[in-house]
Amino acid sequence: MAVEARGARSREGDWRRNSRAREVRERVVKVLLTACAYLSIFTTVGIVIVLFEETVRFFLDVSVWEFLTSTRWVPSRGEFGVLPLVYGTLMATFIAIAVALPIGLLTAIYLSEYAPNSLRRWLKPALEILAGVPTVVYGYFALTFITPFFKDSLFPGMDTFNALAPGLIMGVMIIPTVASVSEDAIYAVPRSLREGAYALGATRRETATKIVIPAALSGIVAAVILGVSRAIGETMIVTIAMGAQANWLGSPLEGMQAMTAYIVQVVGGETPRGSVAFKSIFAVGSALFLMTLALNLISYWFVRRFREIY
């Protein structure tokens, strides 16, 4: 009996030690996961603090009104009107979305509603390969192939650096983003909605356009805004193929300068650190940050407002 009692106490002691060790491991894992969760938040807060701190210093030398309303951006002459940079960024982004939206959405509809599973399994990963191509490759492709092709065949007066070629290539670059996210949203629509439409005599096209697309609208809009944010923040393509001329209300066939391209130009150039021209990159960065933040807020509101729950 004494031996059995000692054995029982030994097993109870082992169980308690294992329980305490398991509890310690769980606490450590919880702390690590919490740290990882908050790391991105702290990083974002740090970036915002540094960005806006330097922006405030810039606006001590330059009027906020001039920065937001002037149509001349010539830092060497002390003219800091951001509108030409915003115009160049939005011009390239508009061209990119004009390419990516119809192609990406139609691709998503085909993958979800028409493509057989055997084709879908390899076609979707193959499409997403486009997202893995380095943007510097896209930029030189726009400069050395797309622009000469347009100049020789369609637009003889096109500038070597222009907004059209990089805009088109950016559209190709964000097609996987729009197509993949839209396809996931469309694929998530319940099969019962499709079967109900077929039972009422609807064709596959009518089911896709009148039932499935409206049901997945919030996800599709989120995909489009995600693509727009990617295009607005693109750097290498516009730096290489778009030029460095802050052109206000220019034609897409003319050279322009995007906000990201200006930041690269200043950082990689000989602008003295601490000068007003150098501080201007933080003001431009803040404007770019606010633009993308506004897009994300619109996307969040739209998804919350029109999201369908099945």
pTM of this structure? 0.82
Note whether 115 and 35 are same-domain residues.
no
Q: Where a domain ends, among 60, 83, 108?
A: 60
> What's the rounded Cα separation, in Å, for the pair 11 and 17?
10
Note whether 94 and 158 are same-domain residues.
yes
Note whether 156 and 121 are same-domain residues.
yes
Note whether 93 and 208 are same-domain residues.
yes
Domain that holds residue 232: 68-306
Note whether 210 and 230 are same-domain residues.
yes
Note whether 164 and 280 are same-domain residues.
yes
Instruction: Go through 252-289 and write b for each residue having 16 or more CB atoms within 10 A of its CB, e for each that does not.
Output: bbbbbbbbbbbbbebeeeebeeeebbbbbbbbbbbbbb
Question: Do residues 279 and 61 lie in contact, with contact meaning Cβ atoms separated by under 8 Å?
Answer: yes
pLDDT digit of tens for each residue in the chain (310 aa)?
554 555 555 555 555 666 777 787 888 888 898 888 888 888 888 888 888 888 888 888 888 888 888 888 888 888 888 899 999 999 999 999 999 999 999 988 888 888 888 888 888 888 878 878 888 899 999 989 999 999 888 888 888 888 999 999 999 999 988 988 888 888 888 888 888 888 888 888 888 888 888 888 888 888 888 888 888 888 889 989 888 888 888 888 888 888 988 888 887 767 777 788 888 889 998 999 888 888 888 878 877 776 666 5
Q: Where a domain ends, among 42, 60, 78?
A: 60
pLDDT of residue 93: 92
pLDDT of residue 216: 85
Note whether 164 and 270 are same-domain residues.
yes
Cross-strand partners of 74: 79
pLDDT of residue 10: 58
Note whether 145 and 273 are same-domain residues.
yes
Note whether 170 and 290 are same-domain residues.
yes
Count of structural domains within the chain: 2
pLDDT of residue 274: 77
Note whether 40 and 81 are same-domain residues.
no
Q: Where a domain ends, among 17, 42, 60?
A: 60
* Residues whose CB falls within 8 Å of the CB of residue 108, separated by 6 or more in sequence, listed in order: 178, 179, 180, 182, 183, 185, 186, 220, 223
pLDDT of residue 74: 85
Note whether 14 and 41 are same-domain residues.
yes
Note whether 14 and 106 are same-domain residues.
no
Q: What CATH number is given to the structural domain containing 282?
A: 1.10.3720.10
Q: Give phi and psi for 255, each to the nearest 5.
A: -70, 145
